Amino acid sequence: MIDVDLIKRALAEDLEGGEDLTSVSTIQSDAVSTADFTARKAGVLAGIDMVKATLQEVGLSDITVTKSDGDLIEAGDVLLTVTGNTRAILLAERTALNFLGHLSGIASLTAQWVSAVAGTDCKVRDTRKTTPGYRQLEKYAVRMGGGTNHRMSLSDAALIKDNHIAAAGGVSQAFSAVRNAFPSAAIEIEVDDFEQLREVLPLKPDLILLDNMSPTQCREAVAIVAGATKIEASGGIALENARAYAETGVDYIAIGALTHSAPVLDIGLDLRAE
Residue 211 known to be catalytic: yes
| Half-sphere exposure (Cβ direction) of 112: Cα atoms closer than 13 Å | 16
190: which residues sit within 8 A by CB, 6+ positions away? 159, 160, 161, 162, 208, 209, 211
Our measurement of the distance from residue 8's CA atom to the centroid of its chain's CA atoms, rounded to an integer in Å, reads 21
129 annotated active-site:
yes
Q: Which of 242, 253, 251, 255 is nearest to 121 (CA)?
A: 251
Instruction: For residue 65, give Cα distances in angstroms to 38, 49, 57, 118, 193.
Output: 11, 9, 16, 30, 51
Choose the catalytic residue: 41, 161, 179, 243.
161
Of 67, 94, 128, 230, catalytic:
94
Annotated active-site residue 198? The verdict is: no
**Residue 274 annotated to the active site:** no
- Judge whether 230 counts as a catalytic residue: no
Query: Please, what is the Cα angle at 152 between 146 and 154, to 5 degrees?
Result: 150
Out of 41, 129, 135, 219, the active site residue is 129
Q: Which of 69, 93, 190, 232 is catalytic?
A: 190
Active site residues: 94, 129, 161, 190, 211
